[in-house]
Structure 1
Amino acid sequence: MIDRILNSRLAPLLVLAFLVAVIPLVAPSNFYLRVAALVWVFSIAAFGLTILMGYAGQVSLGHAGFLGIGAYSVALGPEYLGLDPLVSLCLGVFVSAAIAWVVGRPILKLRGYYLAIATLGFGMIVSLVLNGESAITGGPDGMQVPRATLFGLKLSGSATWYWVTAGVMLVGAALALNIGNSPTGRALRALHDSEVAAAGTGIDVAARKLNAFVLAAIYAAVAGGLLALMNGLITPDAAGFMNSIELVAMVIIGGLGSVVGAVVGAAFLVVLPQALTSLHDYEQAVLGLLIMVFMIFLPAGIVPTLRRKMTERAA
């Protein structure tokens, strides 16, 4: 019975919906709702890398670049085009997808370390442009982001953004799960195992890899736009190298190919630094040590390891 529940397609989505419903009931203040909203935002970006890395087996070390594009779209659109922030977000998602399609065609011909370095270069270019074009982007100081309105309701406050980001996160999770259980997801997993074997079965390897790359860029752009709208300010750090590494770490720590794992990994890297602030100068060292410990003892990731142990115990 437990095994059947664990293997249900709806199980991950039900778990996430349960968490979304329970957290406001136990959160002692709005500060915790804001932290939870940040977890949902970075989970959305991590879902994209779950598709790209977990399903398709393609590494990206520059995906924060797309997050930065989505984030700056909600600032640049209203400032220079007079667009509504939410319309600007949609435009930013479209631009990110178009750039991913153009950039992905040549760099996805690379493999392994070469692909990782190429994507790293893309992320660095975006970060340098956002920093250098100070007349347009505000440079290192960033830009103010106007408040968005939805059906006449101004989106402000931790509680409001908690439910907005949670709703988008659940939709993103449902889409990622649907892709994973579809013929497209099975084709992507075939690429992950062996591109040569996948090509031998008639799968268009180049097209599938490009599709995964574009989807991951869309997820990152949505997350970036929500982050900027929630904070009311955006800086080039959003597209920085460390942000890209953290996104990859979220997916690996939680469990490659696991949608719930992406949320767990995001929670690990968003919540834990908040809990370690009392350690002051040793905060980053302790965080790094904990990541090493998790990778040594849970190499498959937190969620897949726990799921396997629960299944073995049930059997």
Structure 2
Amino acid sequence: MLNRFMQSRLRGLVILALILIILPAFLGNPFHYELVTQMAIIAATVVGLNLLVGFAGQISLGHAGFFGLGAYFTGIATGTYGWSSIPALVAGAIAVGIIAWVVGRPILRLKGHYLSMATLAVGFIIAIILNNERAITGGPDGMPVPALNLFGWELSTFGQYSLFGVEISGVQAWYILASLVLLLAVWFALNLIESPIGRALRSVKGSEVAASVVGVDTARYKSLVFVISAVYASVMGSLYAHFQGFITPAVASFEFSILLITMVVLGGMGSTFGVILGAVVLKLLPQLLANFQELETVMFGLILMLTMIFMPKGLLPTLTALVAGKVRKKTGGKA
């Protein structure tokens, strides 16, 4: 029989897949498809970041730097040197993983505010390099990125494609790809969490001293999850670059790093499906508040502040606890 966690994991994946299948029925135009595709790509990024922050307890305020490196590596490799998209994406992920390992070994020895400042510095350094290396990256003006070449199939937001005999637009094809990638990212994260590596990460978050006493190599596991989360960001950055068709150093900015960590905190640290909800909410809120014009930023901040005051554990864990509490009351505490 499946244990409770595996049942919950399978149920969550099925629900997420059903939502992604049903969602196109409510998308009325290409802009909606572009928005939800961006949501899926960013949601997959924060699923990786949540492994570092939510399960290992290690903060990162410069994670957009790895996202930007993946985007620019792919953009340069495919646009300047004529690489195919998949080799460029894989090579970029490997390169970013190596950089994350080299950088992570020393800075992950730090704790608290010192670790936050170190990761922030890494993000700033990457953003400065992308801004200043005009000959390679185009500088602040950015650079164009070719359409995604997927096993000989060129995927562009402006194209028209036939899928199992059904004609779909480019944005619809991108939505399908992003949805599949998100499901794969969630599946991998859930399996990692339940593996011996995941249990080691949870012990590190609980107490590094206690974890070390029972034989957990805390430095190794912290570096490993730092690399995994960076590779997540790199792969999603590569896909984002192809999807947008144009990138600027904003993809590695401090503001984007803060947005990513806010999605994790808002959705619920340690909740894989919660951080997806956090990503959706923070991508939707600016669209919903656009009519308030100059008050948009104030209301955005107010909503976040009230959410964190009244839902400190995050949106999904709080809502789940409320529903579970009501169920227990109705069943007389037997649920």
TM-score (norm: length of structure 1): 0.96
Indicate the RMSD between aligned Cα atoms, in angstroms.
1.4
Alignment correspondent of 2:306: 293
Q: State whether structure 2 residue 317 is matched by structure 1 residue 314.
A: no
Q: Distance in 1 between matches of 2:232 and 2:152?
A: 26
Q: Distance in 2 between matches of 1:311 and 1:199?
A: 36
Q: State whether structure 2 residue 218 is matched by structure 1 residue 205.
A: yes
Alignment correspondent of 2:161: none
Alignment correspondent of 2:47: 47
Alignment correspondent of 1:61: 61
Q: How does 1:106-185 map to 2 (within 5 A)?
A: 106-156=106-156, 157-185=170-198
Of 59-68 and 177-186, deviating more is 177-186
Q: What's the CA shift for 1:6?
A: 10
Q: Distance in 2 between matches of 1:192 and 1:177?
A: 17
Q: State whether structure 2 residue 283 is matched by structure 1 residue 270.
A: yes
Q: Which amino acid aligns with 1:127?
A: A
- Cα distance change on mapping 1:300 and 1:6 into 2, 3 Å: farther
- Cα distance change on mapping 1:95 and 1:25 into 2, 3 Å: same
Identity among equivalent pairs (%):
44
Q: Distance in 1 between matches of 2:292 and 2:306?
A: 19
Q: State whether structure 2 residue 254 is matched by structure 1 residue 241.
A: yes
State whether residues 75 and 85 of structure 1, in contact with CA within 8 Å, keep that contact through their aligned partners in structure 2. Answer: no
- Cα distance change on mapping 1:130 and 1:301 into 2, 3 Å: same
Of 25-34 and 194-203, deviating more is 25-34
Give the secondary structure class of the aligned counterpart of 2:8: coil
State whether residues 85 and 150 of structure 2, in contact with CA within 8 Å, keep that contact through their aligned partners in structure 1. Answer: no
- Cα distance change on mapping 1:6 and 1:27 into 2, 3 Å: farther
Of 9-18 and 169-178, deviating more is 9-18
Q: Distance in 2 between matches of 1:292 and 1:193?
A: 27
> Structure 1 unaligned runs (5+)?
none
**Deviation per residue, 1:47-69 (Å, 9 max, x gap):** 11110000000000000000000
State whether residues 148 and 243 of structure 2, in contact with CA within 8 Å, keep that contact through their aligned partners in structure 1. Answer: no
Q: State whether structure 2 residue 37 is matched by structure 1 residue 37.
A: yes
The structure that has the greater radius of gyration is 2
Q: What's the CA shift for 1:74?
A: 1.5
Q: What's the CA shift for 1:18?
A: 1.4
Q: Distance in 1 between matches of 2:230 and 2:243?
A: 20
State whether residues 253 and 301 of structure 1, in contact with CA within 8 Å, keep that contact through their aligned partners in structure 2. Answer: yes
Alignment correspondent of 2:101: 101
Q: Distance in 2 between matches of 1:52 and 1:198?
A: 16
Q: State whether structure 2 residue 110 is matched by structure 1 residue 79.
A: no
Q: State whether structure 2 residue 239 is matched by structure 1 residue 226.
A: yes
Alignment correspondent of 2:160: none
Of 108-117 and 18-27, deviating more is 18-27
Q: Distance in 2 between matches of 1:5 and 1:216?
A: 22
Alignment size in residue pairs: 312
Q: Distance in 2 between matches of 1:306 and 1:281?
A: 31
Q: What's the CA shift for 1:300?
A: 0.1
> Structure 2 unaligned runs (5+)?
157-169, 329-335
Q: Which amino acid aligns with 2:27?
A: A
**Deviation per residue, 1:120-178 (Å, 9 max, x gap):** 00000000000001111000010100011223322122111111111111000000011
Q: Distance in 1 between matches of 2:173 and 2:242?
A: 12
State whether residues 12 and 259 of structure 1, in contact with CA within 8 Å, keep that contact through their aligned partners in structure 2. Answer: no
Q: Which amino acid aligns with 1:272?
A: L
Alignment correspondent of 2:159: none
State whether residues 64 and 123 of structure 1, in contact with CA within 8 Å, keep that contact through their aligned partners in structure 2. Answer: yes
Alignment equivalent of 2:272, drawn from 259, 269, 272: 259
State whether residues 147 and 245 of structure 2, in contact with CA within 8 Å, keep that contact through their aligned partners in structure 1. Answer: yes
State whether residues 42 and 279 of structure 2, in contact with CA within 8 Å, keep that contact through their aligned partners in structure 1. Answer: yes
Of 210-219 and 279-288, deviating more is 279-288
